[in-house]
Chain A
Amino acid sequence: MSSEPEVSWEIARSKPASFYSTYERKDELQHATHYCPGCGHGIIHKMLAQAIDDLGIQDRTVLISPVGCSVFAYYYFDVGNVQAAHGRAPAVATAVKRSRPGSVVIAYQGDGDLSAIGSAEILHAANRGEALTVIFVNNAIYSMTGGQMAPTTLMGQTSTTSPQGRGAHEGYPLHVSELLATLEAPVYIERVGLGDNKQIAQAARAVRRALDNQVRGLGFSLVEILSPCPTIWKMTPVEAQHWVRDVMEGTFPLGVLRDRTQSAQSDAVPAPPPLLSAVPRILGIAKTGLPAEPSAVGAAPDLNLQVRMAGFGGQGVLLIGEVLAEAGLDAGLEVSWLPSYGPEMRSGTSNCHVRLARELIDSPLVAHPDVLVAMNEPSVRKFCAMVRAGGWILYNGETLPEDCDWKDVHVLARPFTRIAKDLGDARAANMVMLGALLEIAGNLPRTSIESALGRLVRNPRWLALDEAALASGRKLMREACAEANHAS
């Protein structure tokens, strides 16, 4: 650089420090973004990075990248980065902000991402007044995928999916900022454009303000930026810029749609979470007699019980699994209970995986159960081959179906439903089967089982019936074992 001796130069405008010095996306082109010449994203990235610099928040900023052309924002911004599933940036941003309240979270989204697939997420994040900054880049089309019609496409605008121009049958341009401005919670919503120098300067001010609102803990801020896409609009960068000002602005008027920053209350310091010891009282379960010091009383030291329970929906297979797991928990064991069922409330199939162990449980899945509780024929057919050698099949029927593939396992096949009916209600069949199971497995203390049953079955009449059913099941199993010993 040459200059006359009496003049020295200082840098007035240069690349913001919130950008990486080089971009590692590819081996080549490490100094250039992947955006097309004249793309609005680059301009918006720069004003966002400048605002992060100016506010001194680079170390606590988390940028949520969307799906769209700006998916690669994390290659450029030297801040915390998360890339969200299509449209879900506000949900991800909510999680980040709530788990790290001191962070400054920016959801950066295009119009396809925010106003189409992500319309629910943005609506509810705004309605909850999440203290986020949303940068909504609106170019009225799906650009990354080649120019399909978006919810924001203008009337009459052609796209690959509206080649005749958008008509009423394709719906009308969605005015996201106006929609969100009908909600109570947002504190700041402004629409700006990149149509000329003046508009771009105003856009930079709006972005900075939306970020500053979050730094001050004011609440939900959104800036919608009308942005050119020269490539997909098939224009030169300068023509595209003018189209934003001369055409887009007619459909999407610029201006502040919501400004409650003066009256908004700062909640920069959220309430601390409750103490762990207060949780039972908050959940209303403080009186149910949870033991103060759980201990694995009576359980075998190498206990590792794996059970699969299956039947029709409505037979109570999930409930007996829960009783077993709760009883284990009460006895101080490690437990897991994993239900698996179809959408039907009645008569669909339903099963659950239950594990009880002294040691930590690695996976809640039970591929090879020690005990299979099969409450109907389809279940025993489906699961009998999985039972581990030396294990048990408890089957609700006189005999196992002949074509069942099983070997080296004990079988207790009884008409449990009829037994329960004789006790007073056929619906207690599950508890009879659980009683039989408890007799052979786990060696759980009676008090733990009674306490678990008491917590899960609130109706006193049913509790009495279920206790009788459990006792009946235990007796059944004892007799069956005695018979088997006698025979051998």
Chain B
Amino acid sequence: MTTVHHRDAGQLRVDTNECKGCGLCIEACPPKVIRLEESLNPYGYRTATYMGAGCTGCGICFLVCPEPGAITVLRARRPGPAAASGPQVRP
């Protein structure tokens, strides 16, 4: 279970059944918060994993990832005056 820094604007999830460990997301990530797992998944790949802190939610890892659903990027929705139904508040 990853811990999320309370100031992070984003985080990412990796589907370990889909990731083939090509490493393009690691190369692409601007804040460099992705690394490869030490262990192998059932298909023999060292999959990508979020280091747990520092994600800005920019989505570039998703853009460069060759697998349709290996990466899901989440963005924080901070509570605010219009948080319930209004536009997303950027930190």
Name A's B-contacting residues (CB within 8 A): 1-4, 6-16, 19, 29, 31-33, 35-43, 45-47, 49, 76, 197, 200-201, 204, 230, 236-238, 241
B72/A38 in contact, CB under 8 A: no
Name the prevailing secondary structure of the B interface residues: loop
B68 interfacial by beta-carbon distance below 8 Å = yes
Nearest-Cβ distance from residue B33 to partner chain A, whole angstroms: 15
B10/A16 in contact, CB under 8 A: no
Q: Which interface residue of B4, B64, B71, B78 has the most chain A CB atoms within 10 A?
A: B64
- Tell me the chain B residues, 1-60 only, with Cβ under 8 Å from chain A: 1-4, 6, 10-11, 13, 15, 17-18, 20-24, 27-28, 43, 45, 57, 59-60
Whether A241 contacts B24 in the complex (CB less than 8 A), given A12-B75, A14-B72, A14-B73, comes out as yes
The 10 closest A-B pairs by CB, nearest first: A42-B66, A15-B69, A38-B22, A37-B22, A13-B62, A37-B20, A13-B73, A237-B22, A12-B75, A9-B74
Tell which of B1, B11, B15, B45 touches A37, judged by Cβ atoms closer than 8 Å.
Answer: B45
Q: How far is the CA of A45 from the CA of B77 in the complex (A)?
A: 29
Q: How far is the CA of A200 from the CA of B43 in the complex (A)?
A: 28
Whether A16 contacts B73 in the complex (CB less than 8 A), given A4-B6, A197-B63, comes out as no
Q: How far is the CA of A8 from the CA of B60 in the complex (A)?
A: 21
Find chain A residues with CB under 8 A from B24 CB.
38, 237-238, 241
B74/A201 in contact, CB under 8 A: no
A40/B63 in contact, CB under 8 A: no
B67 to chain A: closest residue by CB: A42
Q: How far is the CA of A45 from the CA of B68 in the complex (A)?
A: 8
Find chain B residues with CB under 8 A from A241 CB.
24, 27
A2/B69 in contact, CB under 8 A: no
Whether A39 contacts B66 in the complex (CB less than 8 A), given A6-B78, A9-B74, comes out as yes
Q: Which interface residue of B18, B60, B74, B77 has the most chain A CB atoms within 10 A?
A: B74
Tell which of A12, A19, A230 touches B10, judged by Cβ atoms closer than 8 Å.
Answer: A12
Nearest-Cβ distance from residue A195 to partner chain B, whole angstroms: 11
